[in-house]
Structure 1
Amino acid sequence: MEILLAKRAGFCFGVKRATQMAFEAAEKEGETFTLGPIIHSPQVVQRLEGMGVKVLSDLEGIGNGTVIIRSHGVTSAELEDAVRRQLEVVDATCPFVKKAQEHVKRLSHDGYTVVVVGDADHPEVQGIVSYAEGPVHVVGSGEEAARLPNMKKVGVVAQTTQSFETLKNVVKECLLKGGEIRVFNTICDATAVRQDEAKALAREVDCMIVIGGFNSANTKRLAEVCSELQPRTYHIETAQELDASWFQGVERVGVTAGASTPKWLIDEVIERIQEFDNKKKG
């Protein structure tokens, strides 16, 4: 059985940067916290917890120590709260997410109604939205955008892990809603490249394995695009979830992973698939 691994499977630039900053902060003395999970990988979060890094949902009752801002960013109010408490802040927000926050702040300040293309429940989107000073809407599709009210000036940004197709559909609808429109394509290149690689791989194999946190938006999207081309697509977090029956009659297996998936998890999955293959041959 041949195993084909996508070239860019695993950590993207922003996630690699955030985890490195978190592990470096964990080695210093004093209490260390993250506001929400540093990345959407339960296994990485667990390793940091083993080093004493606690995950907090808010800073209530925290008067000292180091707080790490997760790669998805936090709301402007949460960041201000950390500064007000005089905590040492390690800002590991992905630079691409930071750019989206800055665009929203500037657009809003200049009188634009902001439309954010993304998942309203995702922490990255919640953080981006918080930088708006005026009206802001979150939409996840062209259909949702079609229900927006008419707006004089419209500014559009996207969650960094959104598909370009969804952004285009939303922009089309916004063109019908406003007299003036500004669009910033804030989709991260790493997301688009991973999706293109995953599609190409799914067309070539008999089975696709997508590795990453079940709470990871970009991993779920990878699984979706692969499933459209290869019905035998399985989204897992760890090698323990693999099932030998998935590989019956399979000659080529494709493996990809979300941007928050560490290399050691990918290696464990590949080793487990190889074990299944060796048992079949034996």
Structure 2
Amino acid sequence: MSVIVAKTAGFCWGVRRAVDSVVTEIKKGEGPFRVYGPLVHNPQVIEALKDRGVGMSSEPWDESGGTLFLRTHGVTVEERERLNELPLKLKDLTCPRVGRALGIAGKMSRKGYDVIIFGDPGHHEVKAILSSAGSSGMVVASVADAKRLPDLKNPFLLSQTTQNCEEFSEILDILKKRWPGIESSNTICDSTARRQTELRELLGRVDAVVVVGGSNSANTRRLASIAGETGLPVFRIERHDELDAGLLKPYRRVLLSAGASTPGWSIRKVRERLLEIQGESTGAGWIRNVFRNLIFSGVHIPFIALVIALAQGETLGGTGWGAAGLAAGLLLWSFTNFTAVLECRRVTMTSQKRQEFIRAHERVMLLLAGFSFLGSVTLSFHLGTAWLLWTAVATLFCFLYALPLLKKSQFFDLLRAIPGSREIMFTLAWSFLVCILPAVSLAGLDFSLKLLIWPVSLAFLFFSRSLFLDLVDLQGDALLGMDTLPLHLGAIRCRKILLSSASAVVLVQVSAVLMGKFPPCALGFVAAPVLLIWAYIHLENESFPSELSVRVISDGSLLIAGLIPYLLCSL
């Protein structure tokens, strides 16, 4: 089975704008936060917002204080008048495309036109448009409805923003036969039009279609309807765990599309599940599952630290690098698993398959963290008092950083609130434990410019790797309250930081070789940032990349940073 993902799938501009606005208001802290009705027609988005303290209120008339968000579908004129009188802060998140339709309906009604609205009569948006049109407004839901319209003196046609483009044109043609001079405005959102156009273009290349979105989402229902017109089997789902492997296995080419209110992480999970089904149909599914579980559990972390330490030993000289690298790797593995489990406990929604894996195997993850910590401590006793002391210091810092995840602590809450604090903490931990500490405490090297080349290079590389992961799941991090650097600085700025940080690794390593500080074989380290830069540029053009692939690339960059120079220098 091959999976084609529609590039237009997922959040439209209006939904993204609304979600970003809610997240921004949450950070301001002017709660309590409520939405008048559902913000969007997607239960996962609603649940994620609820997890962040944003409730839903269909009857806010007796409420006071806090912030009330108006849904993206708009509100009626009567509702808006009542809402404006409430003693609370109103934040209007009506989609600008919907707002345009509301404005046109009101304007044409005042000019004396009979406003015909093509849409679903029970939909919030259609109710809002009908309210703006006043007594001259009427709704048609189909071609049949359009044919049954009464005699009108001055008809004007517009549409719900998520309607079927071809059906709108068909209705307009029918009305023109009856009223040749009819005026109209195609108020179907351009995002909806592009989504439907792309779907129609791709249908000829596949055997089946999977459409992801809320069960009450009008545009999702429209996509499924368009796909069904071709006679292809259509699987309409809300979540990845609704996919039926038995029904999908016979199909070789599957198209994956999604509604305008479907979050990116949901689409990515569906794609991951389709790839798993693909593996099951070829008999290689168990291999992929085992490999995925190993990556998600972090068993490769000690090996990565080991090869980086060994490569450093080849370029700097001295002894004890292998044992030091393994001890550092076990400690870092323990820290990573421990904090990952605590972070997953903070949220009820998960945006990543790795989070689901951690939640399903929490005891195993904590056992691995405990055993790896004991292994690190055992090795530390053999590495000397200085190493054991610094292991204790690193453990204390990790615990203090994780303390807010265990209990409320005003001081340490501020520590975690620092933008990018997680990336910075793990970057410093890797550079210190894997590079600086072994060089000073075991290899007996003097603290010099030459000694700093490896930790500085690794710091830039690890920081680049962290940004790479955060940028891929930016939408999920924002909704679920993960405090990452891209959420504070923005995606565009962090892309520049990522490319600059990765380029800095190349500059440091090349300069070290040209200055005679390192042998030429050390340039093997450069392959790691080059991989990250290439992967990021490539993934920017890919719709909803596989989470497993992203993990393999990001952690693989750390692996080859040590493995390639070690092998080259050992020859």
TM-score class, shorter: over 0.9
Structure 2 Cα separation of the partners of residues 62 and 167 of structure 1: 41
C-alpha distance in structure 1 between counterparts of 2:143 and 2:231, whole Å:
26
Q: Distance in 1 between matches of 2:76 and 2:246?
A: 44
Inter-CA distance 107–239: structure 2 relative to 1 (3 Å threshold): same
Q: Which residue of 1 aligns with 2:10?
A: 10
Residue 98 in structure 1 maps to residue 96 in structure 2? no
Q: Which residue of 1 aligns with 2:215?
A: 214
Partner in structure 2 of residue 188 of structure 1: 189
1:89 is paired with a residue whose SS is strand
Structure 1 residues 133 and 228 mapped into 2: Cα distance closer, same or farther (>3 Å)? closer
Is 1:168 the counterpart of 2:169? The answer is yes
Task: Tell me how far 1:177 sits from its aligned partner.
Answer: 5.1
Give, in whole Å, the separation in 2 of the partners of 1:255 and 1:180.
Answer: 41
Structure 1 alignment gaps of length 5 or more: none
Map 1:216-255 → 2, pairs under 5 A: 216-255=217-256
- Cα distance between partner residues in 2 of 1:171 and 1:199: 21
| Structure number with higher strand proportion | 1
Unaligned 5+ residue runs, structure 2?
285-571
Give 1:230 deviation, angstroms. 4.6
Q: Distance in 2 between matches of 1:230 and 1:151?
A: 38
State how 1:154-165 maps to structure 2 within 5 Å.
154-165=155-166
Structure 2 CA distance, aligned partners of 1:168 and 1:162? Answer: 11
More off after superposition, 245-254 vs 32-41: 245-254
Other-structure match for 2:124: 123
Distance 2:204 2:119 in 1: 27
- Is 1:23 the equivalent of 2:23? yes
Conservation of the 8 A alpha-carbon contact between 1:207 and 1:230: no
8 Å contact kept, 2:207–2:232: no
Partner SS for 2:91: strand
SS in 1 for 2:182: strand
Q: State the one-letter code of the partner of 1:82.
A: L
Instruction: Go from structure 1 to structure 2 and tell me whether the alpha carbon gap of 1:179 and 1:204 turns closer, same or farther (over 3 Å shift).
Output: closer
Q: Can you list the C-alpha shifts for 1:50-69, whole angstroms capped at 9, x where unaligned?
A: 11111111322112221111
CA distance in 2, matches of 1:38, 1:25: 14
**2:34 is equivalent to residue 46 of structure 1:** no
Task: Find the aligned partners of 2:179 and 2:153 in 1 and give their Cα distance.
Answer: 5
More helix by share: 2
User: Aligned partners of 2:253 and 2:177: how far apart in 1?
Assistant: 47
Q: Distance in 2 between matches of 1:64 and 1:250?
A: 54
Alpha-carbon separation, structure 1, partners of 2:88 and 2:167? 39
Q: Which one-letter code corresponds to 1:13 in the other structure? A: W
- Structure 1 distance, partners of 2:280, 2:176, is 58
Structure 1 letter corresponding to 2:110? H
C-alpha deviation, 1:126, in angstroms: 0.5
State the secondary structure of the residue aligned to 1:22: helix
Q: In structure 2, what residue type is equivalent to 1:22?
A: V
TM-score scaled by structure 2? 0.48
- State the Cα deviation string for residues 127-178 of structure 1 (Å, max 9, x = none): 1111123321100122212211111111211000112222223323433555
Q: Is the 8 A contact 1:153 1:179 kept in 2?
A: no
Aligned equivalents of 2:30, 2:261: Cα separation in 1: 27
Counterpart residue number, 1:135: 136
SS at match of 2:79: helix
Q: Is the 8 A contact 1:151 1:179 kept in 2?
A: no
Q: Which range is displaced more, 194-203 or 255-264?
A: 194-203
Partners of 2:86 and 2:242 in 1: CA distance: 42
CA distance in 2, matches of 1:155, 1:229: 32
SS of the equivalent of 1:133 reads helix
Distance 1:278 1:172, change over 3 A: closer
Compare 133-142 and 182-191 and name the one that shifted more. 133-142
Q: Structure 1: which 4+ aligned runs deviate by more than 6 Å?
A: none
Q: Does 1:274 align with 2:283?
A: no
Q: Residue type of the partner of 2:2?
A: E
Please state whether the residue corresponding to 1:229 is helix, strand or coil.
Answer: coil
How many angstroms does 1:29 deviate by?
2.8
* Residues 2, 278 of structure 2: 8 Å contact kept: no
Instruction: Give the Cα–Cα distance (whole angstroms) in 2 for the partners of residues 134 and 69 of structure 1.
Output: 24
Q: In the TM superposition, what is the alpha-carbon distance from 1:116 to its structure 2 partner? A: 0.5
Q: Is the 8 A contact 1:152 1:180 kept in 2?
A: no
TM-superposed CA distance for 1:21, in Å, is 1.1
Tell me the residue number matched to 1:32.
Answer: 33
Q: CA deviation at 1:180?
A: 5.2
How many Å separate the matches in 2 of 1:178 and 1:62?
48
Q: What SS does the aligned partner of 2:135 have?
A: coil
What secondary structure is seen at the aligned counterpart in 1 of 2:15?
helix
How many angstroms apart in 2 are the aligned matches of 1:179 and 1:169? Answer: 14
Q: Deviations over 1:35-82 (max 9, x none)?
A: 111111100000111111111113221122211111111112222212
Partner of 1:258: 259
Q: Residues 77-116 of structure 1 correspond to what in structure 2 (within 5 A)?
A: 77-116=78-117
Q: Which has the higher contact order (CA 8 A, sep 6+)?
A: 1
* Structure 1 residue 86 displacement after superposition: 3.4
Structure 1 residue 182 displacement after superposition: 2.1
CA RMSD of aligned residues (A): 1.6
Q: Deviations over 1:76-115 (max 9, x none)?
A: 2222212111321111111110000000111111111111
- TM-score normalized by structure 1? 0.95
CA deviation digits over 1:206-247, x for unaligned, max 9?
221110111001001111111222522100000010111122
Measure, in 1, the Cα distance between the counterparts of 2:4 and 2:231.
14
Indicate the structure (1 or 2) with the bigger Cα radius of gyration.
2
- Whole-Å Cα distance in 2 between the matches of residues 167 and 185 of structure 1? 8
Task: Calculate percent identity across the aligned residue pairs.
Answer: 39
